[in-house]
Amino acid sequence: PGTRRWCFADQLGPHFLDRPDQPVLLIESRAVFARRRFHRQKAHLVLSALRHRAAELGDQAEFAQVHTYAEALDRVREPLSVCAPTTWSSRDYVLRRPDLTVLAARGFVATQDEFTAWAEGRGRRRLLMEDFYRDNRRRHDVLMDGAEPVGGRWNLDHDNREPPPSDGRLDVPEPWWPEEDEIDERVRADLGRWEADGDVAFVGDDGPRLFPVTREEALRRLRDFLDTRLGAFGPHEDAMLAGDRWMTHSLLSPAVNLGLLDPLEEVHAAEQRYRDSVAEGDPLPLNSVEGFVRQVMGWRDYIWHTYWHFGRDFRHANALAAREEVPDWLADLDDGAVDAACMSDVLGDLRRDGWVHHIPRLMVLGNYALQRGIDPLAMTDWFHRSFVDGYDWVMVANVVGMSQHADGGLLATKPYAAGGAYIDRMSDYCGGCRYDPRKRLGEDACPFTAGYWAFLERNRERLAPNQRMRRALQGLDRLKGLEEVVEQERLRGTEVI
Ligand code: SF4
């Protein structure tokens, strides 16, 4: 406890220290950005957050701006401790250094031991997120009435799958936005200079900065979400709107993944709002509150633990033998080149903001890569670099497991492949598109609809043992013109859609 604490750039909140006045080491390593092409706003966010933390701590922090971690660590002459970092490679790195005391990870709800005890529990055949989530809720007494879930049901998901409102508008105010300061200005100038010098290369547009970089900003965003959007969060959380990219989402994931907020703190704050609203006789909709709690102490925590649980080779899983490269138009976030209204809109938002919510990620971007057989590890890397909240631990389980089904079904019971009809139902994109979601052949055949059938045909044998795919595969047998669809999509490949 008396040691200086090295805090990585995603360990910036007070919960990574043992006491508020503990001496801190912060390292800004330019080598991190030199290796790969990140979204410009992601690089900005991480650097800005680190520099803001250094400024806030003042003399309490040693702040090293160096090329590599080793340069800074070799200079330290006092005992140094670190909370276990969040990736396999950085964890290997800290464990290799004899001068570091490595503590348990922080910033997640369940500890590694708690997850292992749950995963190895008696009779547990599958590691279902739903079971883990309930365990987490029980252990932390969140939205519980004694031993029972508040409202009598654990899962209110079926209330949260509504299509978007038909007038394309949600009755919520614009989210609160942070204001940039002189630290942001310096970060912007440095990134511009490094890029001009050819040391780094970025993708995506520059600012303005949209996500919190300090604890104060993170708390402000949390409060804004609780005040203005928590109650409306649930019903349309899986819907997409061309004219509203934020919808009712909390926009908190970048802050919590930087370590500025503790996930349990978010969950307790949401529960408190719910309990206060009940006491005041005007209850917030439980499906909205439960939906938010599920995202944080269900999905986020589950993805973190499966990253470690399935081992360091999890990232290399490729059960569907997908080997295509990420096409240039996708890598470059070139929405202008894309005709497909859904893909163009999502890619444009990503270029502009470095963020889109979970359904465009899963059902447009991930669905496209799955259908086209793009290499899952290359997609994992692309998601990691292109999103402001993307980290290795976030993306391996989400992309390899959830979205690309490359783990053969360890995480999801069936592939998240869907045709244009799904996108049409859950968005307002198709009306303005040059493709027709009902068509699978011809000039205006929707690439998602045709791609869906071509995907099933290509993976027919691999998916046949999966009971949940039986109906889809039977549909394939009845499909007229299947051969032409397959040939059409083979020719289309990963050409821009
Ligand atoms: Fe996307 Fe197909 Fe709909 Fe066009 S028709 S917006 S490509 S789903």
Distance CA 308, CA 113 (A): 12
Residue 132 sits in a domain whose CATH number is 1.25.40.80
C-alpha 446 – ligand 1 centre gap (Å): 6
In a domain, 236, yes or no: yes
C-alpha 497 – ligand 1 centre gap (Å): 10
Contact between 242 and 427 (Cβ < 8 Å): yes
Domain range for 447? 314-492
Is any ligand 1 atom within 6 A of the Cβ of residue 424? Answer: yes
Distance CA 43, CA 32 (A): 10
Q: What is the pLDDT of residue 319?
A: 95
Looking at residue 419, its amino acid is G
**366 and 290 part of one domain:** no
Closest by CA to 132, choosing from 110, 105, 160, 153, is 110
C-alpha 445 – ligand 1 centre gap (Å): 9
**75 and 155 part of one domain:** no
Is any ligand 1 atom within 6 A of the Cβ of residue 418? Answer: no
**89 and 127 part of one domain:** no
Residue 59 sits in a domain whose CATH number is 3.40.50.620
**239 and 139 part of one domain:** yes
Contact between 445 and 436 (Cβ < 8 Å): yes
Sign of CA dihedral 41, 44, 49, 52: negative
Distance CA 131, CA 139 (A): 12
C-alpha 371 – ligand 1 centre gap (Å): 14
**346 and 234 part of one domain:** no
Of 309, 327, 342, which residue constitutes the final position of a domain? 309
Half-sphere exposure in the Cβ direction for 327 (13 Å, CA): 17
Q: If you write DSSP's letter for every residue of 157-222 in order, what string do you get?
A: GGGG-PPPPTTS--S-PPPP-----HHHHHHHHHHHHHHHTTS--EES------S--SHHHHHHHH
C-alpha 453 – ligand 1 centre gap (Å): 15
- Tokens standing for residue 3: 């040691």
In a domain, 295, yes or no: yes
**381 and 284 part of one domain:** no
In a domain, 40, yes or no: yes
C-alpha 365 – ligand 1 centre gap (Å): 12
How many residues appear in the chain? Answer: 497
In a domain, 188, yes or no: no
**264 and 139 part of one domain:** yes
Is any ligand 1 atom within 6 A of the Cβ of residue 428? Answer: no
**95 and 119 part of one domain:** no
C-alpha 82 – ligand 1 centre gap (Å): 48
Contact between 385 and 203 (Cβ < 8 Å): yes
Report which protein residue has its CA nearest ligand 1's atom 3: 430
- Phi (first) and psi of residue 183, to 5 degrees: -65, -45
In a domain, 215, yes or no: no
Pairing between β-strand 80-83 and β-strand 100-103 as defined by DSSP bridges: parallel
C-alpha 355 – ligand 1 centre gap (Å): 21
| Alpha-helical runs (H) found in 354-442 | 358-359, 367-372, 376-386, 392-395, 420-426
**29 and 16 part of one domain:** yes
Distance CA 340, CA 221 (A): 33
Residues near 322 by Cβ (< 8 Å), separated by ≥ 6?
A: 369, 370, 373, 374, 375, 376, 404, 406
In a domain, 210, yes or no: no
Is any ligand 1 atom within 6 A of the Cβ of residue 360? Answer: no
Domain count, the chain: 3
* Ligand 1 pocket test target in 338, 423, 440, 441 with most atoms within 8 Å of CB: 423
- Please confirm whether the linkage preceding 208 is cis (ω < 30° from 0): yes
| Strand, coil or helix: 102 | strand
Report which protein residue has its CA nearest ligand 1's atom 2: 446
Sign of CA dihedral 419, 420, 423, 424: negative
C-alpha 474 – ligand 1 centre gap (Å): 24
Q: What is the pLDDT of residue 1?
A: 46
Is any ligand 1 atom within 6 A of the Cβ of residue 342? Answer: yes
Is any ligand 1 atom within 6 A of the Cβ of residue 393? Answer: no
Ligand 1 atom nearest residue 437's Cα: 5
Is any ligand 1 atom within 6 A of the Cβ of residue 340? Answer: yes
* Ligand 1 pocket test target in 433, 436, 497 with most atoms within 8 Å of CB: 433
Half-sphere exposure in the Cβ direction for 474 (13 Å, CA): 6
**161 and 66 part of one domain:** no
Residues near 1 by Cβ (< 8 Å), separated by ≥ 6?
A: 18, 19, 22
Report residues of the chain scoring pLDDT below 70: 1-2
Closest by CA to 211, choosing from 270, 243, 247, 256, is 256
Ligand 1 atom nearest residue 341's Cα: 6
Cα 287 from chain centroid (whole Å): 21
**399 and 283 part of one domain:** no
Distances (CA, A) of 284 to 153, 234, 236, 271: 16, 11, 15, 10
- Phi (first) and psi of residue 332, to 5 degrees: -90, 0
Is any ligand 1 atom within 6 A of the Cβ of residue 426? Answer: no
Of 309, 343, 363, which residue constitutes the final position of a domain? 309
Report which protein residue has its CA nearest ligand 1's atom 7: 340
Ligand 1 atom nearest residue 434's Cα: 4
Distance CA 240, CA 367 (A): 15
What does pTM read for this prediction? Answer: 0.95
Q: What is the pLDDT of residue 136?
A: 95
Report which protein residue has its CA nearest ligand 1's atom 1: 342
Of 49, 68, 103, which residue constitutes the final position of a domain? 103
Report which protein residue has its CA nearest ligand 1's atom 8: 420
Q: What is the pLDDT of residue 2?
A: 64
C-alpha 347 – ligand 1 centre gap (Å): 14
**11 and 151 part of one domain:** no
Residue 452 sits in a domain whose CATH number is 1.10.579.10
Q: If you write DSSP's letter for every residue of 235-249 in order, what string do you get?
A: TTTT---TT-SSTT-
